[in-house]
Amino acid sequence: MWEQVQETVSFIQERVNFTPEYGVILGSGLGSFTSDMQVHFTLPYNEIPNFPVSTVQGHKGALVFGTIGSKKVVAMQGRFHYYEGYSMTEVTFPVRVLKFLGVDKLIVSNASGGVNPSYKVGSIVMITDHINMTPEHPLRGKNDERFGPRFVNMSEPYSRKMIAKATQIAEELNIVTHEGIYLGLQGPTFETLAEYKMVKILGADCVGMSTVPEVIVARHMDLETFGISVITDMGDAESIGTISHDEVLEAAKEAEPQVRSLIKELILNY
Ligand code: HPA
């Protein structure tokens, strides 16, 4: 994989003379973030060697290079999910590439289902920790020390300093935020009521189908990581009947302006 990552990085660097400091994975709730960027270059995933090939129709897949103020950013427009059939190595390959393009801070966003009763649809949650219950570990297999150590310290998967800065910014912008623990499952089904209960009993506040593998790989390579989640549905008896992908997309869109300005200011001021 080392050679593949280096090959991909060389290919990108030949086309884009740009060393990004921030990587941003645009999930639901942050899709339009590139409008806040002064875009210098866009590279569709299907033109990038070794990148996973998207099977989803109409899938927006591109690396977007640009600036926010004086900060250099590369955004991943579209991510790869395990439930789509990719291996965990494929799901997390782009994160490896970001690191060797120069990124040392990674911001990940997602939509999730809330099980903390103080949340409601549209709540914005800064992820403080996660529980990995996806079925395959992205670091399983022979470890390549050039990426990072065999046994990764996971005491601070989400940077406390970045959370503190984002909290301060949210207060200044009058954006209500929460903190919470994200539990990662593979999907693609939404959870049953019994599973949402399990998620809560296990100590998580929200549940989703992405992010955890990406953050594990980011921490393997010592990237400082910040995660933000939009609660798009509540996993409780009253709400569970209507949960659908459309509802998720709609709720994520509603929260988008606030999530966008929070991330923009975090990048500008951190
Ligand atoms: N469960 C899992 N993933 C999700 C959910 C959910 O309720 N909402 C958005 N992504």
Q: What is the CATH number of the domain that holds 96?
A: 3.40.50.1580
For residue 18, the enclosing domain spans 2-269
Total domain count, the chain? 1
Going from the Cα of 112 to the center of ligand 1, the distance in angstroms, rounded, reads 4
Distance CA 121, CA 114 (A): 8
Looking at residue 30, its pLDDT comes to: 83
Q: How far apart are CA 10 and CA 255, in angstroms?
A: 37
Give the distance (Å) from ligand 1 centre to CA of residue 172. 29
* Token pair for 265: 């200011």
- Specify the pLDDT at position 138: 97
Cα distance between residue 47 and residue 198, in whole Å: 42
Q: Profile the chain (270 residues) by mean pLDDT over runs of 10 residues.
A: 96 94 91 92 94 68 95 95 94 98 97 96 97 97 97 97 98 97 96 97 97 98 97 92 88 91 96
Token pair, residue 141, equals 């297999």
124, containing H or E segment: strand 124-132
* Cα 169 to middle of ligand 1, angstroms: 27
The pTM for the full model equals: 0.95
Pocket test for ligand 1, best of 192, 193, 232, 245 (most atoms within 8 A of CB): 232
The whole-number pLDDT of residue 221 equals 98
260 within 8 A of 109, measured Cβ to Cβ: no
